[in-house]
């Protein structure tokens, strides 16, 4: 099922911003390596530039030590990708499609020579979980991880179970 534009990640904007954002992050790291005493003021400058470029609150991103999380490519992509928005007419079938996209693994073979598409593929579940968080008050991260029931048995919620938990408004 194809998702309508309001629900899909805006990869067009992200692809335009990604190389610029990545270059700014790497430039900051190079500056920090050569001018450690001035790194704090440069950090604030780069954060402000990225905020102006993307409209995002940069406090949620770690420019100082991105390598301890998951690399400059993923960080640059997450900064570049516009945040999901509230969609007042979210349909149940669309919710099911989004959940299926989160919970279904698809090998990224078609993207192996395209850094941007590979990073987009790697971050799609995060985008879709954020979309659900913005649009459904009953969103809970536990729906997407392994849980333990009262008997001590582990389980994962199915797509259908999550649909029912989120849709019950």
pLDDT digits (tens, 9 = 90+) for 106-155: 877 777 788 999 999 999 999 999 999 999 999 999 999 999 999 999 99
pTM for this prediction: 0.89
| Rounded Cα gap, residues 37 and 11, in angstroms | 37
Q: Please name which of 133, 115, 121 lies closest in space to residue 9, comparing C-alpha atoms.
A: 121
pLDDT for res 145: 95
- Which residue has better confidence, 67 or 70? 70
Running DSSP on this structure, what letter comes out for residue 155? E
Q: Please name which of 116, 111, 108, 110 lies closest in space to residue 22, comparing C-alpha atoms.
A: 116
pLDDT for res 70: 83
Terminal Cα-to-Cα distance of the chain (whole angstroms):
24
pLDDT exceeds cutoff 90 at 84: yes
Domain boundaries, the chain: 11-80, 92-167
């Amino acid at each position: 099922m194809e998702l309508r534009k309001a629900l899909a990640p805006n990869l067009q904007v992200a692809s335009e911003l990604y190389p610029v954002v990545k270059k700014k992050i790497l430039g900051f790291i190079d500056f920090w390596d050569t001018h450690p005493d001035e790194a704090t003021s440069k950090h604030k400058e780069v954060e402000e530039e990225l905020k102006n470029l993307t409209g995002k609150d940069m406090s949620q991103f770690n420019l100082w030590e991105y390598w301890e999380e998951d690399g400059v490519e993923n960080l640059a992509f997450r900064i570049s990708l516009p945040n999901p928005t509230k969609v007042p007419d979210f349909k149940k079938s669309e919710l099911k499609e989004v959940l299926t996209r989160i919970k279904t693994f698809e090998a990224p073979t078609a993207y192996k020579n395209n850094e941007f598409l590979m990073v987009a593929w790697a971050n799609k579940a995060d985008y879709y979980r954020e979309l659900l968080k913005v649009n459904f008050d009953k969103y809970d991260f536990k729906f997407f991880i392994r849980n333990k029931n009262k008997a001590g048995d582990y389980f994962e919620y199915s797509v259908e179970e999550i649909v029912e938990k989120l849709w019950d408004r």
